Structure 1
């Protein structure tokens, strides 16, 4: 059966090897691997959002705008944070979602019940209203409701309506050029989107002390056409009259 003292020394040696291996693992996890784990944690809570560039204007030869982009916003909510809201009125007897709905409803043009339904839930991100004007966005943010945010978007408009529509072309709902001058001169008109990157907490809130970086968007360049808006309108009227006859 062997020398008991030999077996004892062997057992002690095995225990020491196991302890040293475990200690080495702990050192690696707590020391050498700490930076890698920290970077992984930061990556998991880092969010990047796009800042769309505004397309350049398309004008006639006199500078009259035929196509232009305007700033709009998509309003969103982190429903898990709204319940922390305290109404702006010092005498308000209600708080949370109910209070937020009462104050936000007139801003959105919704009923209180519709607004309360949109604010209620466990979603970390849900759209409220898309493509709202800056004044609506400012009014919503000014209420100070936790979890309410807005992303900038661009809306393409054609102030002259259908005048020179076949020349101007159009863009899709996502801003992609699809036809006409919009497509032919897309490289000049499109610009370069920017981005904003930040760290967010477990409930989606921005961490004030976390990493925050913003690269501004570079708006597109204007394109000047040789046509005259008024002459083009008259020409289209003549063509339309001829077709009707």
Structure 2
């Protein structure tokens, strides 16, 4: 991970704690990304052993969220950070919550892999592969942007969710066509649809992390703000002055 330009403090320990928190987030993000890749592999190959292994590993992701959350709370209680330091810790806490939910998607995909699909209906899962790859690619990019707190990259990635949504809509249309042609496939199609919806939600989670990056850098909560053009923020100065430092 590239070293984030965290404000330097008189306390070297405080600096180390902030960097440690960021490193933990990246470790958790890498684990979630790997789980998603493995889950898709398990689904495509009908690998029940791998699927069960990933489901068990989800507990590690959950535990990491708890540990990072508690670590950040201890920093807040002990250091009483202000301004950008406080925003960073808030962003970390919110981001790990999104990553934990993305990890749940991997578990759901694995449960799909364990369900019985006839050879005839196996092709239904192929429709999910392209959507999965696009969603995972978006996650990979936002983790890199988060590591650098790269505003320009976060804004670019934010718009990528439109492509994920388009891919999802195409999958739904294909699955609906299968359902009309073969009513026997309805149970399997409902499973595939549920999995597709979970994959589409990864894009929404990544968008949330984009908004967290904007909040850290600009000090503006842009969630639910349809009146704000994110790209315009690149040419603006800081929206929120760090008055708490005065």
Report the TM-score, using the length of structure 2 for normalisation: 0.28
| Higher relative contact order, chain-length normalized (CA < 8 Å, sep 6+) | 1
Q: Who wins on radius of gyration, i.e. which is larger?
A: 1
The structure with more helix, counted as a fraction of residues: 2
Report the TM-score, using the length of structure 1 for normalisation: 0.28
The structure with more strand, counted as a fraction of residues: 1
